[in-house]
Amino acid sequence: MRKSREEAAETRRRIVESASHRFRENGIAETGLNDLMQAAGLETQGGFYKHFDSKQQLLEESLNYGFTETLERLGSVAEEAETKDRFEAIVSAYLSPKHRNCVAEACPVSAMGTELGRLEGDSRQVAADGLKELVALVARQMKGQMKGKMTPDQARKRATAVVAAMVGGMMLSRIANNNQWSNSILAATRDLILRCS
């Protein structure tokens, strides 16, 4: 019995992880249950309902997973940098060709931006909470960079604008129809943020 619980927990984790990547890569509306189950290595939708009540429940857990993955990655980037360079390191990592090209593992906001704005109820709350955590991560690095010259409220307001610019720059870079243009959008957005922050 214990082994089957562990297997069920592992299957659920695998479904959430693969769904998180599929939703970010293909969009919420375009990702059906069959696709989600195949991505998790399961053959039928019947297996889905053993673990989740609805696609919305899976979406919420997938969003949590995606934000956690993004925040951990950016947090690691910050920790590896010198204290004075942590803000720049996060901005550079976010506005990088690697982040642009790996949509399935990208920040949920830049990967599913407009779709997240159309969510309702608990799903919308999960997305909003993830966005707040991203802003808070950036605000902590800004406050550290400014050596206490910025109040927490000032850091949060500036970080909100920075995150808006990062997300917008990333989304536009994915729309650009050639690498040179796309890379120039990333570089210009990064330079503007670092110059103005």
Q: What is the pTM of this model?
A: 0.91
Domain ranges of the chain: 2-196
Count of C-beta atoms within a 10 Å radius of residue 48:
20
Quick check: 111 and 103 in contact, CB under 8 A?
A: yes
- Please give the chain's pLDDT, 197 residues, in tens: 455 888 878 888 989 999 999 999 999 999 988 888 888 777 666 677 788 888 899 999 999 999 999 999 999 999 999 988 999 999 999 999 999 999 999 999 999 999 999 999 999 999 999 999 999 999 999 876 665 578 889 999 999 999 999 999 999 999 999 999 999 999 999 999 999 88
Quick check: 89 and 77 in contact, CB under 8 A?
A: yes
The CATH-assigned architecture of domain 2-196 is: Orthogonal Bundle (1.10)
Count of C-beta atoms within a 10 Å radius of residue 31:
21
